[in-house]
Structure 1
Amino acid sequence: MTISTTKKVLGVTAAAGLIVALAGCGQAPAEDPSATSTGGGAVEGFKPCMVSDAGGFDDKSFNQLGFEGLERASAALGVEPVTVQSDSESDFAPNLTNLVNQNCTTIITVGFALAAAAGESAAANPDINYVSIDDVVDTDFDGETDSPNIKPIVFDTAQAAFLAGYAAASYSETKKVGTFGGMNYPTVSIFMDGFAQGVEYWNEQKDDNVKVFGWDRDKQDGVFTGGFAANQDAINAAQGIVEQGVDVLLPVGGPIYQSAASVIRDSGRDIALIGVDADVYETDPTVADLLLTSIRKLIDVGVEDAVMSAGKGEFDATPFVGTLENEGVGLAPFHDFEDKVSADLQGELDTITEGIVSGSITVESYLAG
């Protein structure tokens, strides 16, 4: 599947205009006084449901994080959630219809690819609350979420990826680092572009010349596998980047990091891996020894908060955008690489974080204010 350049540009421009506030900054809607609470604290009849993107709920990445947030909130509210897994894009609309037919009262869609199907389902079912992870669901690009019953939860991961790019450049001995993605969606390329910006900042500050393979900032395009499966296409993409001589590799797109890890091990070289979404060191110990760090976005926390609010009759459709300032995004610890990175690196990253939060350091992204 491909997305035209025109569509991507229009979509991200609309998204930038749409994100108007961080969750918690606006006042939540008043609780319905007629709502009856269950024993667990949820309003009567509350039924939270979730549909995954391709990759499934055990992808050790964004689908799994969404699922974990749903599970925590459901347990706290004393309700039983319903989940359906998508194996391909053709499953999106039928899965949403399935959840509507099961009388779900809040439906969470995980991933940018679900936006169109979520928008259609929300418009057809105005009495159901929808939570859209990673997309603002502005399919007509008018600067507004398609329906008032959709809450977007998105993440300016370029900020955290900037830190990862700087760290990668600091760590690299070959002066070559690389990245590749699943598909050129804004939610994928935002990692790659932020990473490249961090490398550029390192070069400016240190008068260095670390090169990035796999992403071209001018063209806003790079190396993509065409999907999000850990398959031969992902192996080929990783192999092509590794053959350029990189010693740090950032794969962006759910399970494709597993293919990157296999290529790194087969190379016989010391190549550090960077995870995305979760702290992959914790979610997948099989690659822990390879991980320099991970670029985190707290999908689980966002989902948990949205479900808890909806469960109490306080659903708030105000968009949430995760940033370094509100800790919706961040960089995981260096873990096993703590003694391998420069002693000055963490201090420099802390200073850069302060600069990004204050605005003295600019990180470009489609979600930047």
Structure 2
Amino acid sequence: MVTDTGGIDDHSFNASTWAGMEAAKAANSAIKTSNVASNALTDYEPNLTNLVNKNCDYIQAVGGLMTEATAKVAKANTAKQFAIVDSNPGLPNVYPLEFETQEAAYLAGYLAAGFSKTGKVGTYGGLPIAPVTIFMDGFADGIKKYNEVKGKNVQLLGWDKATQKGLFANTFTDQTAGKKQSDTLVAQGADVIFPVAGGTGLGTAANAGTKYAVIWVDADGFATTPYGSVMLTTVVKNMTDGVKEALGKAATQKGTLLTGGFKGTLANKGVSLAPYHDFDSKIDAGLKAEVEALKADIISGKIKVESPSQPK
């Protein structure tokens, strides 16, 4: 596996993907795994090429930012099995693992609007790229739904779905930048903050205290960060099971390229809303029931949550 910037211990998408690799290894003793960190975008191509040269049978890339490099190396090594999270380069030897994250983020938006005492919730992203803005779009729609149902006017700070413009830290690693973004949102009145920024979001979580609650992304922040006490919930992107399944298949059909791809939805539990943990007793029972009802409506198709950034 080649990590995106942020490294294996980002408590987010790199860590979740690596957990899938390790889970596949635990299930099949023939699988041997290793990872290499990318410290900058320029590391992607040489890191991927290095794994080809080491004769790895399955090479996992992580994140949409790696699309171009993965496609280039895959085109030069057509017999080699690649996989990538959050992208689909459209190549026969690159297995795509994509997620309808806007579905689970919709539930988080509705929850945040109902939980907020100030009537203002905030979000910011790491970079303005599709795997980030898809979260923010779903979150915005969930807040909009709450306002429609309740006749309220809860404001979303940091993102405008209509214009696709908002607040970005321009990093997935700098916790100081995360604190700066959340300080800005708190100054405007936000008491729930949704950082879609990988490790950068740790700066938000570390400084939450009693000022605001945090909604985490990718992997359940209650379990994967030191800041469980401030985690209202997490919009989970189940990369772990998706990667475990893909690597497991690749190991059993070695020499034959994987076909199709993985697309995570609420229906197949590829995306989900994490348990409320320490906040469970603080959330109104009626609000919890409404979130569950919305989940059922999305799964049934009664509600369609869409984003310009969702997988095509």
Q: TM-score, normalised by structure 2?
A: 0.96
Q: Matched residues in 2 for 1:335 and 1:214: separation?
A: 26
Whole-Å separation in 2 of the counterparts to 1:257 and 1:227: 10
CA RMSD of aligned residues (A): 1.3
| 8 Å contact from structure 2 (residues 175, 202) kept in 1 | no
In structure 1, which of residues 252, 264, 284 is the aligned counterpart of residue 208 of structure 2? 264
SS of match in other structure, 2:258: coil
Displacement after TM superposition at 1:237 (Å): 1.5
- Alpha-carbon distance in 2 for matches of 1:75, 1:101: 25
| Correspondence 1:60 to 2:3 | no
Q: How far apart, in 2, do the equivalents of 1:344 and 1:237 lie?
A: 32
1:306–1:315 Cα contact (<8 Å) kept: no
In the TM superposition, what whole-angstrom CA distance separates every residue of 1:292-316 from its partner, at most 9, and x where no partner exists? Answer: 0000011010000000000001642
* CA distance in 1 between partners of 2:276 and 2:244 (Å): 27
Map residues 109-188 of structure 1 onto 2, 5 A cutoff.
109-137=61-89, 145=90, 147-188=91-132
Q: Is the 8 A contact 2:107 2:273 kept in 1?
A: yes
Separation (CA, whole Å) in 2 of partners of 1:264 and 1:75: 36
Compute the TM-score of the two structures, normalised by the length of structure 1.
0.81
Distance 1:236 1:69 in 2: 32
2:295 partner amino acid: T
Written as runs of structure 1 = structure 2, the 5 A alignment for 1:1-369 is 50-78=1-29, 79-137=31-89, 145=90, 147-265=91-209, 269-284=210-225, 286-313=226-253, 315-365=257-307, 366-367=309-310
Q: Which residue of 2 aligns with 1:31?
A: none
CA distance in 2, matches of 1:312, 1:250: 39
Amino acid at match of 1:306: A
CA distance in 2, matches of 1:124, 1:315: 15
Q: Deviations over 1:218-262 (max 9, x none)?
A: 111110011101333222212111111111000002112211123
Amino acid at match of 2:88: V
Q: Structure 2 counterpart of 1:99, which letter?
A: L
Q: How many Å separate the matches in 2 of 1:309 and 1:368?
A: 22
Deviation, structure 1 residue 204: 0.3
Check whether the contact 1:296–1:330 (CA below 8 A) recurs between aligned residues.
Answer: yes
Q: Which amino acid aligns with 1:178?
A: G
Poorly superposed stretches of 4+, deviation over 6 Å:
none
Matches of 1:155 and 1:355, distance apart in 2:
18
Greater mean deviation of Cα atoms: 72-81 or 170-179: 72-81
Q: Distance in 1 between matches of 2:224 and 2:202?
A: 12
Unpaired segments ≥5 residues, structure 1: 1-49, 138-144
Specify the structure having the higher radius of gyration (Cα). 1
Runs of 5+ consecutive residues of structure 2 not aligned to the other structure: none
Once residues 329 and 57 of structure 1 are traced to their aligned partners in structure 2, the CA distance between those partners, rounded to angstroms, is: 21
Task: Describe the superposition over 1:106-141 as per-residue Cα deviations: whole angstroms up to 9, x where unpaired.
Answer: 10001111010000011000110111111112xxxx
Q: Which residue of 2 aligns with 1:16?
A: none
Whether the 8 Å CA contact 1:309–1:315 is kept in 2: the answer is: no
Change (3 A) 1:361 1:368: farther
Deviation at 1:72, TM superposition (A): 1.5
Structure 1: how far apart are the matches of 2:37 and 2:229?
Answer: 30
Residues 220 and 306 of structure 1: is their aligned pair in 2 closer, same or farther, counting only changes over 3 Å? same
The offset of 1:210, in angstroms, is 0.2
Give the Å deviation of 1:264. Answer: 2.2
State the distance in 2 between where 1:188 and 1:177 align. 17
Amino acid at match of 1:308: G
- Residues 97 and 261 of structure 2 are in contact (CA less than 8 Å); yes or no, is this contact kept in structure 1? yes
Structure 1 residues 7-29: Cα deviation after superposition (integer angstroms, max 9, x where no partner) = xxxxxxxxxxxxxxxxxxxxxxx
User: What is the deviation of 1:270?
Assistant: 3.2
Contact 2:118 2:189 (C-alpha < 8 Å) held by counterparts: yes
